[in-house]
Amino acid sequence: MKYERIELRVDEEHKRKIAELRERYGTTASDALRRAIDEAHEKMMIQKRLDIVKRMSEANIEDVPDPDELKRQILAGHDKSDLP
């Protein structure tokens, strides 16, 4: 994988936290920060999906179509070229 160099300015507290991450992962600061970013991003995406599910569960839908009709409606509203 090709990496791009970025500059990150941190205070002493963040330097200490980066050192803790390096120790936790047993790796370089760059790799530890990439892992921390991946973990934070995954946590954010999980929360985003949970928020969507919550909003869906709060929707007042009285007449839910059968699965085949629901699939037809969903596919009719989307480009099918990127669907399995």
The tens digit of pLDDT for each residue in 14-46 reads 999 999 999 999 999 999 999 999 999 999 999
Give dist(CA 27, CA 42) in Å, integer. 21
Query: Which residues span the domain enclosing 52?
Result: 12-77
Give dist(CA 29, CA 22) in Å, integer. 6
How many separate domains does the chain show?
1
- Work out the end-to-end distance of the chain between its first and last CA atoms, rounded to an integer number of angstroms: 28
- Do the domain assignments include residue 41? yes
Q: What is the pTM of this model?
A: 0.64
- Do the domain assignments include residue 4? no
- Do the domain assignments include residue 19? yes
